[in-house]
Amino acid sequence: METVVAVSLGTLVLQLGLVSVQRTRLAHTRIVERIDALGSFRLGRFVPRRELRYALAGRDWWVDADSLALRAFRGTGVVCPTDGVSSDLVVSFRGDRQPDPEKDSVLLIGANGSASVAALSAVGTVTEACGIGPATPALWRLDRPAPSQVVVARLFERGAYHLSGSALRYRRGASGRQPLTPEIWSMPATRWIESVERVAFAYVPSGAGPRRRWTGFLAWKSGR
């Protein structure tokens, strides 16, 4: 009798324990999946959002359902005043990274709002510049003379974001597409949505139904 009770109780406790472990593991798996989904959504939304924040639609970026081609700005050089037209600019530079003539170009903004593009040929150092705060003074050599009255030179690389292979990928220039997120997106439900006024990011994790679709604002198209 005692053995039967002991075995029954033992089995019950074992059963309860196994169920607890299973439920906890399931909960853990779901939470990890949820965290991955949230993390990838964050990346998928905020990385392009940050890029587009500094750019103007039509001039600096163009969007399709699964690709976003853009001038990816990496820094800003405020141009020190000079006399005449020259292909050398002395700038006060701040940015995410240092300029690289191998891959960078420069968008030149004039005092009258004009914008023109030049390739960055070389970068040099200067002892003195019209420094702003913690900015780095630098000499930028362009492949052509800069227009007169340029006030700001914006450093950028050409790139494109793609929604492919269930992930967000970035391609710089003509190089390959590098994944930025885990491959957990449902395609083609995950895509960029373009309207007259704005661009949004619609995101559906793989295996999720349409009710799990999240949509986030990316950028205005009307330059507001």
Q: Is residue 38 within the footprint of another protein (CB under 8 A)? A: yes
Q: If binding is defined by CB under 8 A, does position 65 make contact with another protein?
A: no
* Residue 96 touches another protein, criterion: CB under 8 A: yes
Q: Which of 65, 122, 130, 193 binds another protein (CB under 8 A)?
A: 130
> Should residue 42 be labelled a site residue for another protein when binding is judged by CB under 8 A?
yes
Stretch that binds another protein, among 18-26, 177-185, 188-196, 200-208 (CB under 8 A): 18-26
Reduced DSSP (H G I as helix, E B as strand, rest coil) percent helix, strand, coil of the chain, to 5: 25, 40, 35
Query: β-pairing, 104-110 with 136-142?
Result: unpaired
Residue 151 identity (one-letter amino acid) = V
- The span from the CA of 117 to the CA of 172, in Å, is 18
Per CB under 8 A, which region of 76-84, 98-106, 170-178, 191-199 contacts another protein? 76-84
Q: Does the footprint of another protein cover residue 193 (CB under 8 A)?
A: no
Distance of CA 91 to the CA centre of its chain: 26
SS3 (DSSP) at 30: helix
Q: Which two tokens stand for residue 117?
A: 């593009």
Could you tell me the smallest distance in angstroms from the CB atom of residue 211 to another protein? Answer: 22
- Tell me whether residue 153 or residue 167 sits nearer to another protein (CB atom): 153
Closest approach of another protein to the CB of residue 23, in Å: 9
Long-range contacts formed by 126-132: CB under 8 A, 24+ apart? 126/90, 129/80, 129/90, 129/91, 129/92, 130/78, 130/80, 130/81, 130/90, 130/92, 131/92, 132/78, 132/92, 132/94
> Residues in the site for another protein, rule: CB under 8 A?
2-3, 6-7, 10, 13-14, 17-18, 20-21, 24-25, 27-28, 31-32, 35, 38-39, 42, 50, 53-56, 73-76, 78, 81, 94-96, 109, 111-113, 130, 132, 149, 151-152, 154
